[in-house]
Amino acid sequence: DTGVSQNPRHKITKRGQNVTFRCDPISEHNRLYWYRQTLGQGPEFLTYFQNEAQLEKSRLLSDRFSAERPKGSFSTLEIQRTEQGDSAMYLCASSPVGTNTGELFFGEGSRLTVL
């Protein structure tokens, strides 16, 4: 399967703990996006990378959130000192540069539950 892969698929943690999610985009896709989605809502943009450069961050991304893409391939999203309000599905998507459509290819998501 050469689609976008996210791990872990599910994470249950206690409030105050740190969690890290990993995203492996489609090979050769330069752009990588992170979104957060809560029940009944559309995906909320968090941040995006072009290769290893983080080009945009949403105001939703508090200082407890950090994303990296050190080698321009996989990316990690870390949430420090988790809060119950962080419970959501975290979606990763990738796309190639130069596409005319802007189509994003999404992974299946990583669901976070903070107790």
Partner 1 sequence: GESVGLHLPTLSVQEGDNSIINCAYSNSASDYFIWYKQESGKGPQFIIDIRSNMDKRQGQRVTVLLNKTVKHLSLQIAATQPGDSAVYFCAESDMRFGAGTRLTVKP
Query: What angle is formed at CA 5 by the lines to CA 14 and CA 99, rounded to 5 degrees?
Result: 125
Positions 6 through 65 that interact with partner 1 (CB under 8 A): 33, 35, 39-45, 48
Name the residue nearer to partner 1 (CB basis): 50 or 80: 50
Phi, then psi, of 84 in degrees rounded to 5: -60, -30
Residues 83-102 that bind partner 1 (CB under 8 A): 91, 93, 100-102
Which residue stretch of 21-29, 63-71, 75-83, 103-111 sits at the interface with partner 1 (rule: CB under 8 A)? Answer: 103-111
- Among 64, 27, 71, smallest CA distance to 49 is for 71
Least distance between partner 1 and beta carbon 103 (Å): 4
Query: Closest approach of Cβ 42 to partner 1, in Å?
Result: 4
**What is the 3 state secondary structure string of 3-27?**
CCEEECCEEEECCCCCEEEEEECCC
**Cα–Cα distance, 88 to 68 (Å, whole number):** 20
Binding site for partner 1 (CB under 8 A): 4, 33, 35, 39-45, 48, 91, 93, 100-109
